[in-house]
Amino acid sequence: MLFLSFKPMEPISSDHVPQGEFLYQFKWDGVRMLAHVGRNRVWLHNRKLKERTCHYPELVVLTDLVRGEAILDGEIVALRNGKPSFPLVLERDLINPAATENKTRRLMAQVPIFYMVFDLIWYNGQSLISLPLTRRQSILAEALQENDTVRIVESFADGNALFEAVSQQKMEGIVAKLKEGHYAAGKKHRAWIKVKHRQKQLVAIGGYTVKSGQINALLAGAYHNGQFLYVGRVATGLTGRDLAALTPYLKEAEIAKPEFVNAIPGKDNRWVSPSLTALVDLQEWTEDLRMRQPVIIGLTKDLPKNCILGQGDR
């Protein structure tokens, strides 16, 4: 099992915090990562079985932190203003593997990461997947020494209180885990249940789509490192009357080429100068930085320059 890639266990989704024989953990908004730790080697791969070892050189320290050999499961996160930022950690995760060592080291300094470890799957020659979660956590606490970069995820007994705290802090959500649950590698399993706090994002409107001659959706963008990125097509939350009212404004603001720096799907797109802003409610960000299940809450008076990717509503 060591140094052989496999897909991790995944939680199912719920809109409420389950009660019963569960413990509860923060759901860290980052990149899922399995770490295979040998005596003199660390090998990382993500949930899609893509190797990521060279992306995170600071995790070679795991050979010193693990007492023996192990396979760890966890999330790699990067913080912005003290909170996990998915767009920020992607700057590390999407670096070209052919990048020079100097570029990688420079990015390490600019975007420090943390490996938040929440499970131990294999340890010193023994598979632990059939052990209950509480036993795996007990072994993890003995097997892994923490440092400033590598941390063991804390568990809590009160799921409602934890979710309330997460919601107030505008973090991603929580995961409820059955205390006696086994590790179901490669499967979505109800032994783990994720409950997400929906996020907010200020967006600037950089275009719209047309169907049967009528505007039917807005093309939203946000700024990241000074670039205007397309982050999704938004229609939910706007009525036909809303779109009709916006039509004269959007047509007057039309420009020949998009100000988005990234590619946008679809052939019936029209481009506008991004001066109109809106507040959007979304479930989560995809790995290509698109909003999942976006809903427009309303238009705002914010300036487009305030629409910063991953910084919520302000």
311 pLDDT above the threshold of 80: no
To the nearest 10°, the Cα dihedral for 310, 311, 313, 314? -160
Tell me what percent of the residues of the chain surpass a pLDDT of 90. 78
- pLDDT classification of 96: cutoffs 50, 70, 90: confident
Q: Which of 181-185, 205-209, 213-217, 291-295 is predicted with the least confidence, judged by mean pLDDT?
A: 213-217
User: Rg of the chain's alpha carbons, rounded to an integer?
Assistant: 22
Predicted TM-score (pTM) of this structure? 0.82
Domain ranges (residues) in the chain: 10-196, 199-306
- pLDDT classification of 313: cutoffs 50, 70, 90: low
205: tokens are: 């409107």
- pLDDT classification of 104: cutoffs 50, 70, 90: confident
Q: Give the pLDDT of residue 123.
A: 98
Q: Give the pLDDT of residue 288.
A: 87
- pLDDT classification of 305: cutoffs 50, 70, 90: very high
* 175-198 mean pLDDT: 96
- pLDDT classification of 9: cutoffs 50, 70, 90: very high
Q: Give the pLDDT of residue 267.
A: 80
Q: Which CATH number fits domain 10-196: 3.30.470.30, 2.40.70.10, 3.10.129.10, 3.40.50.720?
A: 3.30.470.30
314 pLDDT above the threshold of 70: no
Range ranked top by mean pLDDT from 209-218, 271-280, 303-312: 271-280
- The DSSP bridge pattern shows strands 114-123 and 150-152 to be parallel
- pLDDT classification of 312: cutoffs 50, 70, 90: low
* 172-183 mean pLDDT: 97
Q: What is the pLDDT of residues 106-135, one digit of tens each?
A: 999 999 999 999 999 999 999 999 999 999
Please state the three-class secondary structure of 81-144 as a single string.
Answer: CCEECHHHHHHHHCCCCCCCHHHHHHHHHHCCCEEEEEEEEEECCEECCCCCHHHHHHHHHHHE
Nearest to 278 by CA among 312, 302, 252: 302
Q: Give the pLDDT of residue 227.
A: 94
Q: What is the pLDDT of residues 27-51, one digit of tens each?
A: 999 999 999 999 999 999 999 999 9
Amino acid at 285: W
Q: What is the pLDDT of residues 196-225, one digit of tens each?
A: 988 899 999 999 999 888 899 999 999 998
Q: Give the pLDDT of residue 248.
A: 92
Q: What is the mean pLDDT of the chain?
A: 93
Q: Which residue has the tokens 């860290």?
A: 28
Q: Give the pLDDT of residue 137.
A: 98
* 295-302 mean pLDDT: 94
Convert 80-110 to b/e letters by CB count within 10 Å (16 or more is b). eeebbbbbbbbbbbebeeeeeeeebeebeee
- The DSSP bridge pattern shows strands 79-80 and 83-84 to be antiparallel
Q: Give the pLDDT of residue 19.
A: 97
Q: Give the pLDDT of residue 264.
A: 85
286: tokens are: 């995809």
54 pLDDT above the threshold of 60: yes
Q: Which CATH number fits domain 199-306: 3.40.50.620, 1.10.3720.10, 2.40.50.140, 2.60.120.10?
A: 2.40.50.140
Q: Which of 132-141, 237-246, 297-306 is predicted with the least confidence, judged by mean pLDDT?
A: 237-246
Q: What is the pLDDT of residues 128-172, one digit of tens each?
A: 999 999 999 999 999 999 999 999 999 999 999 999 999 988 888
